[in-house]
Amino acid sequence: MKRFVMTAAILGLMTSGAALADGMDNAVGNTVRIIVNDAGEGFDVYFDAGGAYSDSLGRTGALWSFDEQLCIIPPPESGGETNCGPWNEELAVGGSWQTDGWSEDGTMITISILEGRGHDAPTPPTPPAE
């Protein structure tokens, strides 16, 4: 469950004006696809220039900020905690990279940037049994 929540948090966040788009220009206005396992399960994330975050799993109301790390700040009513991790500022639209920086257990995820919005989202991750 932690892995799912952690990965999902990659992508809910705090606005700070000019710092928002700096380093995130490659993501703002595009689709960021997160693949969490070898089965290709994942979700799409949308970062808006004003600091809003939403995703294909239906989460909205979160904010994002970037200052050396990407931070996702869930809405206060969610009870979630801010989660920060690495972001590849050099990743071009159409490119992908892998990181374990969003996982406490070292699980790798694949992050890709798709041009624009409106893509069919991948199959959502199956939450682990409790």
Residue 30 falls within a domain, yes or no?
yes
Residue 121 falls within a domain, yes or no?
no
| Whole-structure pTM value | 0.80
Residue 35 falls within a domain, yes or no?
yes
- Collapse the DSSP code of 26 into the 3-class scheme (helix H, G, I; strand E, B; otherwise coil) and give the result: coil
The torsion region of residue 51 among left (phi > 0), alpha (psi -120 to 50) and beta comes to: left
How high is the pLDDT of residue 81? 92
13-55: pLDDT as tens digits: 333 344 445 789 999 999 999 999 999 999 999 999 999 999 9
Domain range for 73: 2-114
Number of domains in the chain: 1
Residue 126 falls within a domain, yes or no?
no
Residue 60 sits in a domain whose CATH number is 2.40.128
What is the spatial distance between Cα 64 and Cα 72, in angstroms, rounded to a whole number?
5
Residue 123 falls within a domain, yes or no?
no
- Degrees to nearest 5, angle at CA 123 with 107 and 110: 35
Residue 90 falls within a domain, yes or no?
yes
How high is the pLDDT of residue 11? 45
- Which residues contact residue 68 at a Cβ distance below 8 angstroms, ignoring those fewer than 6 apart? none
Structure tokens at 32: 């960021």
Structure tokens at 122: 């991948």
What is the spatial distance between Cα 21 and Cα 13, in angstroms, rounded to a whole number?
13
Residue 25 falls within a domain, yes or no?
yes
In the predicted structure, residue 2 carries a pLDDT above the cut 60: no
Residue 127 falls within a domain, yes or no?
no
> Phi, psi (5° rounding) for residue 70?
-85, 130
